[in-house]
Structure 1
């Protein structure tokens, strides 16, 4: 766990710097500089571009992580081969994009016609994000996750801040802002590429005949099987935002996007830990070390749940005060309950640990494909049912419900097939601590400045969380780590 822990800490650090930038962007800069229609367009175009990435990638990212441990040499040829497959995938997506362009325009023409003007930006965002994801997977195979995370979570958001700030100063118009997104994603890709060159692990090598016998066939078969699962997972993450734009309006998507981002903070520890855990899980499976996988499964579940329940309690207890600082809050506060439902869905995902990653790298990876595709179809159906009834809250409820069902099925499958279980008595204790800390939301301070309200409520939540942790005897490793860091930073 030492290598996992070290990279997880660094990755989490960069992720939370990205969160700070993201909060500045999403909760202040974007609502201040862009009107609701512009903000909805800004988010929808990016979501569309990112939605196409897994379809173009053809599962190569997971393929790199699974098959990299099987190569003793020729890693550069493996990277070049993977990039070649990704370019083929992008060519296929581009042909479908232009072939069905009229149908795509039809989705937005009625409720969000502004999106149609910037569809050309979508493909370039897809291309740069695609190449970044392949390079990320290659770096991850060397357990080098932190710096790619910096470019993805921090650098990209910083460039986006600069782009929107320039628009706020009226140096460019909104059309140029949308075109500038191409440069933002391009420079982020450039950063990861330069990092791999600096590590001396990036080299174009077209000697693909030196792979072990059957390697390429097995790699392609695995990648093509898992790509639908990866694409469906991304669809589950992005489709609600796109459907809100298509079925309601860009203004509704602007409200939904801000609420979604608030809730997204809940899962950041999971994303950081998952990035580092994937190559470790792949290596354990290659050596048939199921006991180590089960131990990792439990450790990650408990650690993620412990941290994320605290984050949930801190955010939800002060949700009204947080919205106070959002420009035009009378518009955006309509997304308050979206925050709750999306955060609840993220907690479900956190509690069930790295079940998707385990399925992907196990011999049952085909089952992950079936489950994920089924869930993506289900969430589209649920959204078509709930959005007309509950509006943006319907999209959030649908996402949370599908996330719970999705994880319950994967949990049962892993339990039945290879006797893996992330839950224990520790899980119950951590859940009790989280519920105790949530009681801080009932504190009321009418007439108090919102900033002071956040500080007082957050202090109360932290105290309750600490008391609960001591009382139930959980979180010892986390607090011990904090103590050591404090001691090292002292005189």
Structure 2
């Protein structure tokens, strides 16, 4: 776990810096500068591009990670990389050619009140293709076990650009419509930078000849692209469905709550960058012991860090929403709780997804992804449209779907490999998280109202004080019960 912890630590810092910038954008800048209608439109466009991206990528980002370590000769690796460069174009070119039809279909899915997006749908296509090729070249560097620079571009780049563009709108350097065009350009430029870096790290000799196992590569990519496209529905279908019933401002309100609830998954995103190629390498070498070792250690360490941030987010969310402008953003506590619970359970599974995706049993990803997308779609229809649960219903759909299918994946890996992430320490950690949640969720520091520049800073003080108390107690219990050897070693290293 040495290389995992080293790069995961750097990636975690990067991702939390990105979440900090994103949090400032989401809580302070977006609502006040773009306001809810235009913010909702940006949310819709980015969510739509996230739905298109897996299809455009053709699953190549996963294909590179799975197959690259299976080649031993440089010529084989170069033929493989040469062949995958052009595969996304099989989807991207026809999709662009027929985009007018896609535009008409998109506009038919939104209400008359939300026709403001009519001039911006082509940004969906440009962002999706740029993200697809960005992911391809990011995987290009992952298999060289270099993830930090790509992680900066993936997590931090867009959020910093958004902050700068929002400031430009605030000072009237650009208009709100121009914000969309500049943001689209930033995604394109990010892909170009990632491509240059990938070629700098490893520039292959380009071949016209295909690798011998090209048929297997195509077969795997087709499964993954279908699974990825279905899986993307789970992540963004709720934001896409909102304009079909309510005003597009609701997408902004829901997006804020989802962002806050997703804050806890940053360590998972950081560790996954390096765990994917390591898991693939161990599977290709048939090193089951190392796979199990990675499984258990990734589970307990992600559960540990995710548990702390689950507590910090949910025990401070009441005060956090007091900082938001407008009543529309308030009342999202239940959405935050359900989304963060879903993320915490996913983190508990460690590198479960990497084991499935990079093993010979990868075909199961397709029925799982299709099942997840169908379940979340019909549950959204039930809770949001029929039972009128509002955005709480959308979050409930996501939580139920993730709990059900993550449990299926847990038992599937156990049935095929005979390994599980669960250890006695997992139950101890669960008890710690539950105890502190029940203790601090309904309690806040009794602080009098304090204002600075006509803005109440009482919620900020309350969040800070409660976070300090929770963190100190949590870390004390973790060390006392020896939950994670890696965490103990890391803390002792910096303590000395």
TM over 0.5: yes
Q: 1:442 and 1:457 mapped to 2: Cα distance?
A: 12
- Alpha-carbon distance, 1:95 to partner: 4.6
Contact (CA 8 Å) 1:53, 1:129: kept in 2 or not?
Answer: yes
Q: 1:23 and 1:358 mapped to 2: Cα distance?
A: 32
Deviation sequence 1:209-235 (CA, Å, 0-9, x none): 4x3x3x211111111112111122222
Q: How many residues align?
A: 482
Contact (CA 8 Å) 2:130, 2:188: kept in 1 or not?
Answer: yes
Residue among 454, 461, 466 paired with 1:452: 461
What SS does structure 2 have at the residue aligned with 1:334? coil
The match for 1:430 is 429
Deviation sequence 1:279-327 (CA, Å, 0-9, x none): 111111111111211121111111000110100101111112222333x
The match for 2:490 is 481
The match for 1:347 is 344
TM-score (norm: length of structure 2): 0.93
Deviation sequence 1:32-77 (CA, Å, 0-9, x none): 1011100000111111112211001111111111110122213344
The match for 1:337 is 334
Deviation sequence 1:378-406 (CA, Å, 0-9, x none): 11111111112211111001101100001
Question: Alpha carbons of 1:96 and 1:233: their partners in 2 closer, same or farther (altered >3 Å)?
Answer: farther
TM-score (norm: length of structure 1): 0.94
Alpha-carbon RMSD? 1.7
Q: 1:432 and 1:405 mapped to 2: Cα distance?
A: 22
The match for 1:198 is 200
Q: 1:299 and 1:96 mapped to 2: Cα distance?
A: 47
Matches within 5 A, 1:80-479: 80-95=82-97, 97-199=99-201, 201-203=202-204, 205-209=206-210, 211=211, 213=212, 215-326=213-324, 328-388=325-385, 389-438=388-437, 439-448=439-448, 449-479=458-488
Deviation sequence 1:111-133 (CA, Å, 0-9, x none): 52212221011111111111101
Contact (CA 8 Å) 1:109, 1:116: kept in 2 or not?
Answer: no
Contact (CA 8 Å) 1:310, 1:437: kept in 2 or not?
Answer: no
- Alpha-carbon distance, 1:8 to partner: 1.2
Q: 1:109 and 1:203 mapped to 2: Cα distance?
A: 49
Q: 2:47 and 2:60 mapped to 1: Cα distance?
A: 21
Contact (CA 8 Å) 2:482, 2:488: kept in 1 or not?
Answer: no
Deviation sequence 1:302-353 (CA, Å, 0-9, x none): 1000110100101111112222333x15321132221111111111111122
The match for 1:44 is 44
User: Which deviates more from structure 2 when the two are superposed, residues 186-195 or residues 402-411?
Assistant: 186-195
Q: 1:286 and 1:473 mapped to 2: Cα distance?
A: 33
Q: 1:81 and 1:410 mapped to 2: Cα distance?
A: 31
Contact (CA 8 Å) 1:241, 1:257: kept in 2 or not?
Answer: yes
Q: 1:330 and 1:204 mapped to 2: Cα distance?
A: 58
User: Which deviates more from structure 2 when the two are superposed, residues 2-11 or residues 442-451?
Assistant: 442-451
Q: 1:356 and 1:32 mapped to 2: Cα distance?
A: 38
Contact (CA 8 Å) 1:437, 1:462: kept in 2 or not?
Answer: no
